Amino acid sequence: MVALTSGVSPTLRLWQVAESCKNYRDAAGLTIEEAAERLRSRSARWSRSKIQRLETRLYAPQPTEIEQLTAGYGVPADEAAALVQMAREARQKGWWQTSAIPKHFQTFVGLEAAATEIRQFDLALIPGLLQTSDYARALMAAIEPATPPDVLEHLVAGRMSRQQVLTRADPPHLSVIMSEAVLHCQVGSRRVWRGQLERLLEAIDSQNIVIQILPFTAGPHPGLEGSFEVLSLPDLACDVGFAEGTIGSLYMESPEDVRRCVMRFATLSTVALLPDASAALVSSVLKEYQ
């Protein structure tokens, strides 16, 4: 069972609760219909749809509901108590749920905040965790020119808050691969772009960050279909793949889809420049702006 820690992400807790509830139901040999019938003897509010919503993370259960569920499934007392505590934590609010982080992106930020490893490939932009505030501001203004200045500043502040994950006591290992095209797409003024390139060089020197540049000379590669990320999260059965686009966010959770993302990232890392050569390439571009 999950070891409880302070400062845990409520988003991760919700995912852990949902996965645990499904696993306990499976261990009890119950279908969703059978589980609902058994739990209705403890509360008339249980139904097939409620269990489905719980197991698919569409509903954050009350601690008392988890007490009923674990009793109905025959979960050992110590594991039941741990799951009840997880349910309490899942109903708390993370900072990303009370900030200007777009609603469709809040789940991802909640998972990112709890990740032990982040692997990211980007075809066109500097990843959000490595952006300067000036770069982020110029980028957001270019993508959504009609954004009011005060809203823009809140969005920038939210993106900067995300970066605290890299400086926490136990930061995740961040592996980033970027297309060389990113280095030739100036965002903002020359001063803004210079500052962003300098930030990349600083990040390359961090112990928990690896940055590789995928050169134009690599030719066709598995990343041509678009940017993606893979998050490794504690106490979940499988890593989570993620891609963001104009129409919204896409989570890849099946073992097959996640494996495809992991294999693509591994292939990209072998054809990308090594970190030292990547730093040299960034430095050569930076010289043009000094």
* Percentage of the residues of the chain whose pLDDT score is greater than 70: 97
User: What gap in Å lies between CA 164 and CA 22, rounded to an integer?
Assistant: 33
| Mean pLDDT value of segment 136-164 | 95
**pLDDT on residue 5:** 41
**pLDDT on residue 249:** 82
- 95 has pLDDT over 90: no
Interval 117-133: pLDDT, tens: 999 999 999 999 999 99
Q: What is the pTM of this model?
A: 0.88
What is the C-alpha end-to-end distance of the chain, expressed in Å?
54
- 103 has pLDDT over 90: no
The DSSP secondary-structure symbol of 3 reads P
User: What gap in Å lies between CA 134 and CA 261, rounded to an integer?
Assistant: 31
Given a contact cutoff of 8 angstroms between Cβ atoms, the answer to whether 127 and 176 are in contact is yes
- 16 has pLDDT over 90: yes
User: What gap in Å lies between CA 70 and CA 72, rounded to an integer?
Assistant: 5
**pLDDT on residue 4:** 38
Which token pair is 169? 């006591």
**pLDDT on residue 251:** 92
Q: For residue 262, what pLDDT band results from cuts at 50, 70 and 90?
A: very high
Interval 18-63: pLDDT, tens: 999 999 999 999 999 999 999 999 899 999 999 999 999 999 999 9
Sequence-ordered list of residues with C-beta below 8 angstroms from that of 183, at least 6 positions apart, any chain = 197, 213, 281, 282, 285
Given a contact cutoff of 8 angstroms between Cβ atoms, the answer to whether 66 and 46 are in contact is no
The 3-class SS string of 8-53 reads CCHHHHHHHHHHHHHHHHHHCCCCHHHHHHHHHCCCCCCCHHHHHH
Cα of 208 vs its chain's centroid, Å: 17
Name residue 252's beta-bridge partners: 241
The DSSP secondary-structure symbol of 146 reads T
**pLDDT on residue 2:** 39
- 161 has pLDDT over 80: yes
Output the average pLDDT for the chain: 93
Interval 164-205: pLDDT, tens: 999 998 999 999 999 999 999 999 999 999 999 999 999 999
- Closest by CA position to 242, among listed 68, 65, 122: 122
Q: Where are the alpha helices (DSSP H) in the chain?
A: 10-27, 32-40, 48-55, 63-73, 77-90, 103-112, 133-143, 149-162, 190-204, 255-271, 275-287
- 6 has pLDDT over 70: no
| Mean pLDDT value of segment 112-118 | 95
**pLDDT on residue 7:** 58
- 1 has pLDDT over 50: no
User: What gap in Å lies between CA 31 and CA 29, rounded to an integer?
Assistant: 7
Name residue 230's beta-bridge partners: 119, 241
